[in-house]
Every structure is written in C-alpha cells, then in structure tokens.
Structure 1
Amino acid sequence: MIQNLCATIACFVAFTAPAFASDAVKGAETLFSSPNGLTERCVRIISIPGGEYSKHDLTDEAAYCDIDLHAPTVALCPKTWSTSPGTMIYDVRNGPYANNRSEFERNACKEGKSASALAGDTLAKFKITMNQSGTSGTFSASPLLYYHFSRYFGTTVKVPVAVWRSTDAKTHASEVAQPGLALSGHNHGARMNHEGWRYVVEAEQNPGIYKPTDDIFTADRKQIYGVLLDSPGHRYGSEINGTRKSGWGKGQNLDFQETPAFLALRDASPLDQAINAGLKRGRQNSQINKDLGKDVSPQQMAFWMREISEIVLLDFIFSQQDRVGNIDFTPYYYWLESDELTHKRAKHHAPKDGDVPAGAQLLRRTNLSDNDAGGRVQYANFAKSTQMLEKLRHFDAEVYRKLMALDRDLQAQGPIWQWTASSLGLTESQISQIVKNTKLATDILRSSCENGNLRFDLNPKRFFETRQVTADNVTCDGA
C-alpha cells in the first residue's frame, strides 16, 4: 500500500525544518500539466507512524489525486459563501452543462452554493492559506494535521481525508480568483470572503505582496498550493455548538462548555449519572432545549461525550481558533444484531430505510468538516485559554494511552516527530508548538488521572451494547 511506504522507523532520517518549509511535503505524487506547461503536484502525505487508515481513506486520497483540474469534464467555481475563499471542483460530465466546462463556469458559478445542483457531482474543495487583514484565518496544513493525527488517535469523531495540491497561479487567477472577487462583491455579509479573494487576486499578480509568501506559493512562485478535501455534513445547532451568545473568542468557547454533552464531561459522577446530569442542566437553557428536541438517548449522549473529548484534545494540540459554530453531524441508524452494534447511514430528513429494524436508534455522529484554523503559532488556542482539558472528568482509555505515547515520541524526537517535521511542510515554530501543546495536554490529563479526577469510561460502543458503565483501569503514565 502506498500509504505504508514510510510507516517504519527505518524510513525516517534526521531532519531540521527550514524557516519556511513551503511546499516541502512528502508522499506519493501524482503529476499534472497546466495549460501554461507547469508541472502541478498532488501529494498523498506519508502515513503517520501508528496511524490506522481505512480502505475508504485510501480510496478518497487516490480519488482526489486523480482529479485533473484542467480536464474538460472538470469545472472550477470560486466559493463565495461563508468567510474564506476556496475553489469548488465539479464533475460536469453530466447535467445541463454536460462536457461544457467553460459554459458551466460562466453561468453556473454565479449561482453560488446552488451550482452543485447543476453539476454531475462535487469532486472536492481546494482550500489555500489566507491570513491577511480583514480575512478569516485559514491555514492549509491544518486539515492535513487533523486528518493524519485523527488516524493516529483512532478517533470516533469523523475527520475528512485531505491531500496536498498545487496549481498554476496564472490559470487559477483568470479562471477562479478574478471571478471570485467579482461575484463575492455581490454577496451581502461576506466581507471576509470578498477580502480574501482580493488578496488572492493581488497575490497571484504579484506574489511578494502576500506575507509570508511561502504560505500560499510554491518556491518558484508560479503555483499556489493548498489541500483537496470534501467536507459534507449538517451543522449542529446550539445543542453541540453552544448558544454563541457571548460573542466570538473566549465567550462562545465558554458557551460551548454549557452544552449537555460538555456538562456531562465535566461531571465527576459515573457515566450514566453524568449523562443524566448533563442533559438536565443543559435543558435549562431554552435555546439548547429547543435544539435538542424531545428525546435524546443515553447512547446518543455517550457518543457525543466521546466525540467532544476528542475534539477538545485535537484542538488543544493544534491551537484551533475557530471550532465553535463549525461542528457538523451525519445521521446514522444504530441497532444490535446478535449483541453486536450495527449501523447504517441515514438520509437526512428522510423516512427510515426499509432494511433498518424497527427498534433502530437514529443517532447523530459528529463530523469535523472545518479544520482550517489550526497549526499556526499566531492563532488563539481557545481550548487552552478556556481550560477545556482541565474540566474533563471522562475520557477514553486508548486515546489517553495514545496521547502518552505521542508525548514520549515527540519529546525524544522519535518517528512521529520525524514525520511531523518532514512530511507536512511545517516551519520550526509550528512543529515546536505541536510538541509543546502535546506536552501540556499530557501533563493536564495525567494530573487529573493522578488526582483521581478522570474516569476512563468513554466507550460508546460498549455502552450501547451492554449499558456497561464500569471504567477501564489505566495507569496514569499510560504504559
């Protein structure tokens, strides 16, 4: 398997990151030629040591790196909604603009989000870094960090696959960025999106105006780079994202901690009691109570608690500054079959599938679809500043052991440190921040463990199958 080419210690060599690593990424490459004769790269980043990648992960990686951005059956549209600029990539082999790339881009792209309904399929989204005055903070290495480290931790929260991609800056400027600037100017309320496109247009004309230039341009300054990914999902309301009444920053991150699942995580009682207490306290807020709906099962709460604990850990390590309000879900049916938990994806707002048993529970499984505001030293780490990890009283045993092992590796500059330093194009300061944050997260959770304040009982699968609430026995050093 391509992903396992460098999964052993022998594959790594001593490495010191340059001041600006830029496009110095490592993995399996697929090459494309732009209309201007430039060689573009799509890179499936080397797998993180100890990571487990599903067949679906590998299939998605391969599919992204099969996309020729200049093919006549592929159309590109500027993303003019939300806060950050991006490029939507559509398959136009079918639909009203079948095999007519130029007509789709000229007419359908004006429809914004609705352009997807005019295409045969949405293939991916191309996201670049954008951190200039008046724009929304995004960092293209961040989705790569979340993808690969989530596979190391074996998270239950679903994190989308991401691959690295470069593309001809001149072609992107005329086909995507300039239309993006023009179209976003008519999108009321998307000021940051419009400013983002303005910087992209100006930088593609003169790369030196964007600082640091290496953040969006390859070393030859002829291509921009970012990530390809797809991030489907439905946005949670206040039941998970919080009320956000206290405004952006620390305020809404403290609001987030008043949601039922987070309140349950903060409750030191056994799991079943913590679930009941979290639901009761959370429902005291009228908006949260409305968004929760009438019936929330203990099984749903157990999944939410596990997923949120994982989100907090990843966001802490990567200094994520824009999580609250960006947590999504995908609905699934869950049921027991011969005492084993079985599930099937459900259609949103659709009747129950005929082959799903009558007693199946419809659960919302959490997606981290938006992971582009982590990894930079300049970002505000709200999981850290609002002490989210310190407040956790429930955690998963295996995730805890993985964290302890990760810290030992990073401190010793072992295989995972070598991978982090050499595979993702990070700078020395960015690598150092991950090492420091991992150490601090380890110290916080180990202290909670040693003081008897952490129950290792976040196993939602076991809870669903047996309603078992007995905590696992874990040594605090994670050995």
Structure 2
Amino acid sequence: MKSLVLSKIVVIAPMTLSFSTALALNLSELRGDARTEYRSPQGLTELCVISKKYPGGKYKNGDIEKERQLCAYNFYTNMGICPKYNSTNPAILMLQPNAKYSKPAIDASNCNLDKMEVKTEAKFKQSITCSHTPSILSYYHVSRILGGVGRVPPTVIRTMDKSIHQRLTVKANNYLRGSREEIAQAWRIFADWHKSPRLHPNVFDNSQTQVFGALSDNVKNEEKYMEVSGRGSYETRYERFMKQAPFLRVSSAQSVAQLAGSTNFKNVAQTALQMKDVSDMILLDTLLNQQDRIGNIHYKFYWYYLDPQNPGKIQRDKSDAEWVNEQLVVPPQETQKMAPYQAALVKEMVLKDNDCGISKTNMMRKYSVLEKVRHMSYQTYRNFLAFHQSLNTQDSRDYFQQELLFSSAEFASLQQNAAKARQILVEKCQSGQLKFDVDLENYVPGANLPSVSCL
C-alpha cells in the first residue's frame, strides 16, 4: 500500500502547481446558508460557512444541528487544535478539552494523541496530496440528495489564518522528523506550499493570508468494514472488493430472499441492509470520481426492530456491541430490551473518508463496477434519476461551483458520470436485470410494495 500512496503524493503535488492565481478563492464571496466569523490572534477574519441545501435533498434535523456545532468550534477559545500524524493526508484536528487537558494544555503539547485522553470532534482538511476540498463537501450533500446514502458525516467550509496553520505545520514536521511515512512526506509538502501560497490557490485564498478547506464531523467508535473491503494489497483493492461476499450478493441474479434464505424481517435485515449500503456506495463513488474507497469503509452497530406499538415502522437504536478478542460482545441489557421484538443487530455502513474524489481517478468506472450491480434501493434509484435531471440546469451548476467549490471541469465530470450511470441503471431496469429488493421497508409484515417505473 505504501508505494502506491507515495505515488499519489508525488504526482498530485506538482499538478496543483499548474493552477493560476486567477482561480484563487475570494472569501468575501462565500455566503452559504449561514456564515460565522472569527478573529484570529493576528486580527484576520476567519470564516465558517454552512453551504446551502440542495433542493430536494433529504437533510435531517441532526445534520442541521451538527453543521451549527461545527461552526461553533473556535480554534482559539473552545477547542484544542493539533496536526494529524497518522494515515496519509494532512489535517488539523479539533479536540475537546476536558478536566485533564485544557485547551492551553492541548495546544502546548506535542499532540501525541495516543497518550492523551481527548476526543477528536472534527477534522479540517485541504486540497493536498489525494485530499480535495470539493470532494469532502460534495460527498455530504450528494449523499443527502440521494436520500442519505452512506451516512456521510456533515461538513462545512472553514478557513484558518495562514500563520496559525503554518505553526501547526512546523509542529507536525518536528514531530515526524526523519519519518518516511506518507503523512510525514505530506506535511513536508505543506511546509513548502506555505512558502509559495500564490502557486496553490486550491489551498490558500486570493489574499494569500488564509488556508481554506472542509471541516467534517468526526465519527467515533466505528469499525473498519473489512467484510466489504477484504484484505490484501492496495494495488488490487478493487479487484479484491469485487470478489468479496457482499459484492457478489449485490451482483447476483438471485433475489434477496433467496440469498438470505428468508423473507422474515429479523432474518433478512442484515443481508438487505448490507446490499443496499454496497450498491449505494458504488453509485455515490461512480458519480464523484472516488479513487480511494476500498479499505476506507466503516460501520457501526445498530438494532433494527419492529415494535407492535408502531406497526409498519422500522425502529432503530444505537448499540454498544463491540469486538473483544475477535468475539462480538453485546451488552446483556440490549439483548433483554430487544427480546420481545423482531430485532436484528446490524452493521450500518459509514462513509467517513471521502476526500480523494472529484478530480481523481474514478475507480468504480475504471472497473465497470456499476454495470455489475443487480440489486438497488428503489428509493435511491428514484432520487438519482431526479438528481440527474436537475444537473442540466444553470441553478445546479451554480450550486456546485459556488456552494461546493467545484471548477467548471469538475462539474462537467459530474454531469458525465451521472449520464453514464443513468444509462447503465435504466437499461438494466428495463431489461429486468435490476432488482429493487434491498429496501428493508419491503420486509415489514403487511408492506405495500411500490410499483416500479424505470423512467
């Protein structure tokens, strides 16, 4: 894996040098639905901008609350800030102070989080190495446009005083001095970029005084969804993914009932939900040019159950089930609570790592993955058809370029991907090769199955 990730850093860094300063972001033009201003110690006005909602998007109350919370995080008053030392892409971590570690203590530390009892509440990332700000922003909003697929965490636009970010870059390079890891090389690249901000308009604004990027909620207590990704080399990750049982089910001509061996809600819940999550992910990544998904898929445990007091509705409760020495341990109180119901403990997919997209290599298209999908949520399908149609309007172009910071070329790529995806899915639907049998609502006793239209 390391050799390929290293190549991403080497290749993408020079690419960004080719942009002209005419493309640099004018912060005064960022309006969104809401705009919060902060004053840095040097007197610069930093911004947090909540992008406007796409018409028809399925945004929940929790999304709105989380956006506001993200824009309430202040680099200088209520949150500790540290550079990220792990994985491959640089980021600034927003850390929650506590009784043991105050904000001043966090900021003054060497940021070795393995030895600190603090929680990472959010991550601030920029367009460097494989990371790309419009990718992080658009995954959140396109997820909601398609009905909430992938459970992508809320994200806002944020800026930071360049001098503050430069200090954190120096801290990262001091901590990682001598390291040959990808993250160390990436921070060294960032240090060089700070010396020539004019050459990097995807990271520095047109005044060359601020760094801008995406601030995303940090999902906690998640697990790697290795059942979907499989294990093996980075170079063959997509071939491997397509050989795993979850994808083989999604590409199977058999029905969900045949694959699960049942139509009973309790017995079919995990199979149907996993198949929906996988096909949703494939569509989302096909649209947004995702290069680095496989191996970056997560899940969290939830209970799905049918409550006789609320007939026809699926209830959902968070679970504290966890793996201990490779054994799944479910809290006894949860098992007792669920005993009276038709209940299934399921894995909900979470797509939290979405920075390597939009301007990258579309790996789902490269391997023709969507063409092999035989099962999909009818809700996702209908939402996608409406989205595809809306992309041909000037309002949609303006939205993606003004609210999600797309370039004209990036929006054109999204349109092309959507047109190709529509062609594939409509043809498969019309030929009877696409089954709409992964929505769990179909397996609730007495459910009225929707009439299907391919167009």
**Are 1:344 and 2:329 an aligned pair?**
no
Alignment TM-score, normalising by the size of structure 2: 0.85
Q: What is residue 15 of structure 2 aligned with on the other side?
A: none
2:177 to 170, 185, 195: 185
Does residue 163 of structure 1 match 2:143? no
State yes or no: 1:20 paired with 2:12: no
1:220 is aligned with what amino acid?
Answer: S
State the distance in 2 between where 1:242 and 1:440 align: 28
1:320 counterpart residue number: 290
- Out of 230, 235, 260, which is 1:242 matched to? 230
Give the equivalent residue in structure 2 for 1:405.
386
Alignment equivalent of 1:437, drawn from 381, 405, 417: 417
Match of 2:352 among 369, 389, 411: 369
Residues 52-451 of structure 1: pairs in structure 2 closer than 5 A: 52-71=58-77, 73-92=78-97, 94-98=98-102, 100-101=103-104, 103-107=105-109, 109=111, 111-115=112-116, 117=117, 119=118, 121-131=119-129, 137-174=130-167, 176-185=168-177, 191-208=181-198, 211=199, 213-232=200-219, 233-243=221-231, 245=232, 247-249=233-235, 251-275=236-260, 297-338=267-308, 339=311, 340-349=313-322, 351-353=331-333, 356-358=337-339, 360-376=343-359, 379-411=360-392, 413-451=393-431
How far off its partner does 1:361 sit? 2.2
What is the rounded CA distance, in whole Å, between the counterparts of 1:275 and 1:253 in structure 2? 25
CA contact (8 A) 1:19 1:427 kept: no
Please give the alpha-carbon distance, in whole angstroms, between the structure 2 residues aligned to 1:433 and 1:198. Answer: 31
SS of match in other structure, 1:445? helix
Deviations 1:195-247 (A, max 9, x none): 11112222223314xx5x1110111111001111123252334311123x3x3
Residue 398 to residue 326, structure 1, CA distance change in 2 (3 Å):
same
Displacement of 1:81: 0.7
Contact 1:20 1:426 in 2 (8 A): no
For 1:348 and 1:200, locate their aligned partners in 2 and report how far apart those are by CA, in whole Å.
Answer: 40
SS class of match (1:42): strand
The CA deviation at 1:97 is: 2.5
TM-score (normalised: structure 1):
0.81
State the secondary structure of the residue aligned to 2:390. Answer: helix
Deviations 1:240-271 (Å, cap 9, x if unpaired)? Answer: 1123x3x334x211211122221111111222
Percent of pairs with identical residues: 27
Q: Is 1:476 the equivalent of 2:454?
A: yes
Gaps of 5+ in 2: 1-20, 323-329
**What is the CA–CA distance in structure 2 between the aligned matches of 1:125 and 1:353, rounded to whole Å?**
34
Aligned residues of 2:159 and 2:210 also touching (Cα < 8 A)? yes
Residue 156 of structure 1 deviates from its aligned partner by: 4.2
| CA–CA separation in structure 2 for the residues paired with 1:39 and 1:299 | 49
- Decide whether aligned partners of structure 1 residues 264 and 466 sit closer, same or farther in structure 2, where only a CA change above 3 A counts: farther
Secondary structure of 2:295's match?
coil
- Give distance in 2, aligned partners of 1:275 and 1:388: 23
The offset of 1:155, in angstroms, is 2.9
Shift of 1:422: 2.5
Q: Do the aligned partners of residues 398 and 334 (structure 1) sit closer, same or farther apart at CA in structure 2, a change above 3 Å counting?
A: closer
Alpha-carbon RMSD: 2.3
Count of matched residue positions in the alignment of Structure 1 and Structure 2: 415
Equivalent position SS for 1:390: helix
Change beyond 3 A, Cα 1:422–1:74: closer
CA contact (8 A) 1:26 1:424 kept: no
Note closer, same or farther for the CA distance 1:170–1:21 as it changes in structure 2 (3 Å cut): closer
- Rate the CA distance shift 1:304–1:186 in 2: closer, same or farther, 3 A: farther
Aligned residue identity for 1:241: S
Q: In the alignment, which residue of structure 2 is the partner of 1:286? A: none
Give the conservation status (yes or no) of the 8 Å contact 1:406–1:416: no
Taking a change above 3 Å as real, the CA distance of residues 192 and 229 of structure 1, as seen in their structure-2 partners, is: same
Conserved? CA contact 1:396–1:459, under 8 Å: yes
After superposing the two structures, state which structure 1 stretch, 225-234 or 311-320, moved more. 225-234
Shift of 1:418: 3.1
Report deviation, 1:353.
3.6
Describe the superposition over 1:328-357 as per-residue Cα deviations: whole angstroms up to 9, x where unpaired: 011112221014321210114251445732
1:335 maps to amino acid: Y
**Contact preservation (8 Å) 1:89, 1:124:** yes
Instruction: Confirm or deny: 8 A CA contact 1:319 1:380 kept in the other structure.
Output: yes
User: Structure 2: how far apart are the matches of 1:123 and 1:236?
Assistant: 19
Residues 135-189 of structure 1 deviation map (CA, whole Å, 9 limit, x = unaligned): xx11012121011111111134311000000010111211x111111212366xx
Q: Which residue does 1:5 correspond to in 2? A: none
Deviations 1:269-298 (A, max 9, x none): 222113459xxxxxxxxxxxxxxxxxx953
State the Cα distance separating 1:91 from its structure 2 match: 2.4
Give the counterpart of 1:51 among 46, 57, 65.
Answer: 57
Query: Is the Cα–Cα contact under 8 Å of residues 392 and 454 in structure 1 kept in the other structure?
Result: yes
Instruction: Flag the 1:125–1:147 CA change in 2: closer, same or farther, 3 A.
Output: same
Q: Indicate if the aligned counterparts of 2:49 and 2:157 stay in contact, CA closer than 8 A.
A: yes
Q: C-alpha separation between the residues in 1 aligned to 2:164 and 2:270?
A: 47
Say which SS state the counterpart of residue 214 (structure 1) adopts. coil
In the alignment, what sits opposite 2:445? 466
Does structure 1 retain, via aligned residues, the 8 Å contact 2:256–2:271? no
